[in-house]
Structure 1
Amino acid sequence: MISVLHSRTSKSAGEYVLAALRRSVSPAAAQAISPGMLRNVDAAIVVAVDVPDAWGDALVEWLSKPRNKLIVFGRLPTALAAYLGCREGAWPQAFQEAARSPSAASRETAQSRAVVRYTGRAEHLGGRMWVRPFERFDFTDEWNNLGFGAIRADGSIWAVSAPIDAPEDTRLASVTIDDERVFTYAALWERDAASVLWFNRPVGPIDSFEWRLVENFVSSHRSDRTVCQPVLSEIPWGYDAAITSRLDCDEDVESARPLWDAYRRLGIPFSLAVHTTNLGSDVNHGILRELAADPHAAILSHTATHAPNWGGSYEAALLEGRESMGLIERVTQEAVRYAVSPFHQSPAYALEALSDAGYDGCIGGIIRNDPEFLIARGGALAGLPAGFVGHSQQTMLHGDCMLASGDPLAVFKQAFDLAFETRTLFGYLDHPFSERYQYGWPTEAGRIDAHEKFVAYMSACAGNPLFMNEETALDFLRARSFASVVADTDGLRVQLSPTVTTPFAMTVEWRGESMQVTNGMRLT
């Protein structure tokens, strides 16, 4: 069991962190606790989220107990900072400016001067010498095709917490500005009795591939000496990569046909998200009916009118979701269970409205807004009912984002590489052409060629990749969100839902091993 510790003032960050942990270890395996629970020896893995100074002595005392693991996100209480040998400095000049990125020009990338740079010590947790800019863009000031969110310098829960330096031999990552190191971003301490992992941000890396370090820390780090908590992987058993893609039909549907034909030639499942204003023309009905009859294809809602922020209110979002669902079902005679957010904008009220409208989940996530929906792992969301899942898919395969120099696909390949090495379910998107706009693609043939080359790259990198349509992928995440890892008298037991199912077996990672999940299996 992982115990999450936060105060009233850090409640928001604490709830996001708790939800992120539950997406990795199952809802039954992570809970919020009071500081008094630190006296309970069963609290062997604790995550302290931006906790106050007053709790520092209790955390230091708790660390003296054998086999414990502590993760700290954000504030290091004074007593704990002293125990770990940290020292606080001063903020760099013009830090907020350094944390922001300029907009990206067409076919180029842009990034902030402030960057997180990992050291070789990240290998202790299955990472490497990654580089994560505080903010980066591939399309204007909206999309980051590498998939992670923004680290701020504004005092919010998404910002770095303090200009603290950890001892050099403990540093996992540092913040640099113009390649000059300024303070520590992440650190790892080993004590005889315990291990400590710290990220200098109240929400930690919940919005990034770096979350893999947290998973490896709790599931396998020092497994011979410390407690380990199993992690349920996003990658189904028997595969080393999981990939899903789609077209968002903002302005046309029928023009998706050439790319659909290409994906059928490749034997790759296909998905369309349909903005139902397009269904006012009968010319767009035929392809939808064909897709509905294709067992390898999926159709999702992309709202009724493609209104920014789902119309700006819960009531508007509820109407958008219901109208879209009803019209697609009338055309296809098939139920629509999942939605894609317009512009990837996914405010909390819209997610609540989709859940209330009967959807089983939503795809969105973009660095520009709604940071709480940029989630490293797909699954259940903070504050929403069980059975509704989210998945972040920020990689936009557009002609506007193909690099003008070097390998045009370099960023997309890097995005997949990060997902592959961190065992992340990878999603990417494009749009059908319309009379008004071709999304930076000179020709349909050129676009199809880029898609085929990207599929070939992913297929060559992975030994046994699994390509899924969006509905199949979200169904897997939904079934995984109902799985439980619970303690019993013989150790740990994995329990699967008898009603929310998936055709793919799940994978559990524990003590450095990966195993196929069977219902009721025991881990001892």
Structure 2
Amino acid sequence: MIGVLSSDASAEACRHALAAVQRSVSASQAQPISRSLLREELAPDIVVAVDTPDGWSADLIAWLRARPRKLMVFGNMPIALADYLRYQRAEPSADFTATLATASRSEPAPSGEARESAAVVRYRMFARTLGGDAWHRPFERFDFADEWNNLGFGAIRGDGSMWAVGKPMHVPAEVELAAALIDGERQFSYAALSDAGESSVLWFNRPVGPCDSFEWRLVENFLSGYRAQDSLPCQPVLSELPWGYDAAITSRLDCDEGVESARPLWQAYRQLGVPFTLAVHTQNLNCAEQHRILRELLAERTEGAVLSHTATHAPNWGGTYDNAVAEGMQSAALLEAATGAPVRYAVSPFHQSPPYAMRGLADAGYEGCVGGIIGNDPEFLTARGGALAGMPAGFVAHSQQCMLHGDCLLQGGDPLAIFKQAFDYAYATNTLFGYLDHPFSERYTYGWTDEAQRIDAHKKFIAYIRSKAHKPLFLHEDAALDFLKFRSLAQVAGDGGEFRVLTPGNREAAPATASTALTLGVEYRGAHVPVQPGKPLQ
């Protein structure tokens, strides 16, 4: 079991850190613990300390020294613990604090270009110790206006919030995983991996850690396999990729203003053997000619899916919980009347996904939602799909921020370079990858010059994915979200002596909503194996 430790002052950050850990290891294997439990013989051997106070250092050091253990520290590194690890804290000046706040923000992106903040996180090759690389993560970046980041990660702030970097800290060069830079000049350490006697410590200088980025893969590898040969405790991690595949991809068109105009791209996807999804804003259903493609798509159950894109496409789901419930219920009823099939999942309008709206969707009977952009609602941007903090079991979220629009094609060099990089990050970190586009309308073509240009770009992107991955799995949204729900309900049981994975109904695989049933995989002590429900992991 993993203990997640925080004071009352950091309770909100702890909720998000706990949910992020649970999305990787299952809800049964991570829970909040009290400070006093650190002093008990029954204390867990893996702990996540979330922005813990300086005065808790002695308890954490004693816990580390008691036997081989793993500690993850998000945010504040308690001062005596920092001394124990040979980290040095620097008190920032008022000028530096103001500079960092400014440097953490990006200009909006013009059409055909990207923009990023002057402040960035740059990883060293030492990150390969945990399966990382020499990654470059801006604190904030945009590919479309001041809303979308097609590379998928959230924003690191400089405002003192739980989404911001903490106090500047400098660690020994040999343990530094990543540093924060401004205009290319190193400012302070952002992440470190230290061995302390028989124990190990992984630190990120942010109260919520990298919960909103592909960097979360470092956390999973630390938990599941780091120093397994030295008898350090390891925790099984449930893979986000179905067993037997090295990539999983889902895509869709959000039907904001048109539906039937999706047909040419659908035909191209059928020729490529790639499933197709439409998310429908139901005011489009006022025209009966928009219904036919939906019924045809759903007739091919394994190759097509239809999701709700709300009833009126209101910003922020209408601004209140009650409006979100109404938007969700009305949309589901209209779609079922038009297609004869129930709707179980939704896509947020403008990708705006405030917490009250997610609670409203769950109460309206939905099983999950797709959304997430860097411009708002940081709670929804999660490295792994699954349950959000404070949401009930059975409702899943999936962040899909990669928008394949003509507006986002680069004007210089390879027009698809950013989209390829987005997939590369997902591929390197075992992440279920999602991207989107929109059907044309009479008013708007989303930056595409014509349908031929759009189809060509989609074909080239799919060809790149297939050239990169050895065994990619393309899924429509229902199948992808069904797998995430199945994974979110699986439970890891046991302790360091013996672990078992219990799946819903002890099924071997998720329901066969895709062309084949999907098996869950688990990573543990350097091995990646298919889950055999109830059987011990070796």
TM-score category of the 2 structures, normalised to the smaller one: over 0.9
> Paired residue for 2:407, among 395, 400, 403?
400
- Residues 300-334 of structure 1 deviation map (CA, whole Å, 9 limit, x = unaligned): 00000000000000011110000000000000010
Shift of 1:40: 3.0
Name the counterpart of 2:223. 218
The 5 A counterparts of 1:79-90 are: 79-89=80-90, 90=92
Name the counterpart of 1:317. 324
| In structure 1, distance between residues paired with 2:226 and 2:325 | 45
Structure 2 counterpart of 1:263, one-letter code: Y
Name the counterpart of 2:288. 282
Give the TM-score of the pair, scaled to structure 1: 0.99
> Paired residue for 1:140, among 137, 145, 154?
145
Q: Is residue 241 of structure 2 the alignment partner of residue 235 of structure 1?
A: yes
Q: Is residue 379 of structure 2 the alignment partner of residue 378 of structure 1?
A: no
Shift of 1:386: 0.5
Shift of 1:54: 1.8
Give secondary structure in 1 for the equivalent of 2:295: helix
> Paired residue for 1:454, among 436, 451, 461?
461
Cα 1:490–1:116, aligned 2, differ >3 Å: closer, same or farther? closer
Structure 2 counterpart of 1:83, one-letter code: Y
The 5 A counterparts of 1:69-468 are: 69-89=70-90, 90=92, 92=96, 94-225=99-230, 226-295=232-301, 296-468=303-475
Give secondary structure in 1 for the equivalent of 2:384: coil
Cα RMSD over matched residues? 1.1
Structure 1 counterpart of 2:532, one-letter code: T
Name the counterpart of 1:469. 476
Shift of 1:488: 6.3
Shift of 1:88: 1.9
- Residues 101-130 of structure 1 deviation map (CA, whole Å, 9 limit, x = unaligned): 001010000000000000111011000100
Name the counterpart of 2:527. 513
Give secondary structure in 2 for the equivalent of 1:94: helix
| In structure 2, distance between residues paired with 1:67 and 1:322 | 52
- Residues 445-499 of structure 1 deviation map (CA, whole Å, 9 limit, x = unaligned): 1100000000000011000000000000000000001111111696111111118
Give secondary structure in 1 for the equivalent of 2:66: coil
Task: Please tell me whether the aligned partners of residues 219 and 512 of structure 1 are also in contact (alpha carbons under 8 angstroms).
Answer: yes
Shift of 1:192: 2.6
Q: Is residue 39 of structure 2 the alignment partner of residue 34 of structure 1?
A: no
Structure 2 counterpart of 1:363, one-letter code: V
| In structure 2, distance between residues paired with 1:43 and 1:507 | 25
| In structure 1, distance between residues paired with 2:497 and 2:164 | 42
| In structure 1, distance between residues paired with 2:419 and 2:225 | 30
Give secondary structure in 2 for the equivalent of 1:363: strand
| In structure 2, distance between residues paired with 1:301 and 1:447 | 24
| In structure 2, distance between residues paired with 1:117 and 1:355 | 38
| In structure 2, distance between residues paired with 1:297 and 1:443 | 24
Runs (5+) with no aligned partner, structure 2: 512-516
Name the counterpart of 2:514. none
Give secondary structure in 2 for the equivalent of 1:379: coil
Shift of 1:415: 0.1
Give secondary structure in 2 for the equivalent of 1:160: coil
Task: Please tell me whether the aligned partners of residues 324 and 357 of structure 2 are also in contact (alpha carbons under 8 angstroms).
Answer: yes
| In structure 2, distance between residues paired with 1:344 and 1:99 | 22
Shift of 1:159: 0.1
Moved over 6 A (4+): none
Give secondary structure in 2 for the equivalent of 1:64: helix
Runs (5+) with no aligned partner, structure 1: none
| In structure 1, distance between residues paired with 2:375 and 2:356 | 18
Task: Please tell me whether the aligned partners of residues 65 and 194 of structure 1 are also in contact (alpha carbons under 8 angstroms).
Answer: no
Give secondary structure in 2 for the equivalent of 1:434: coil
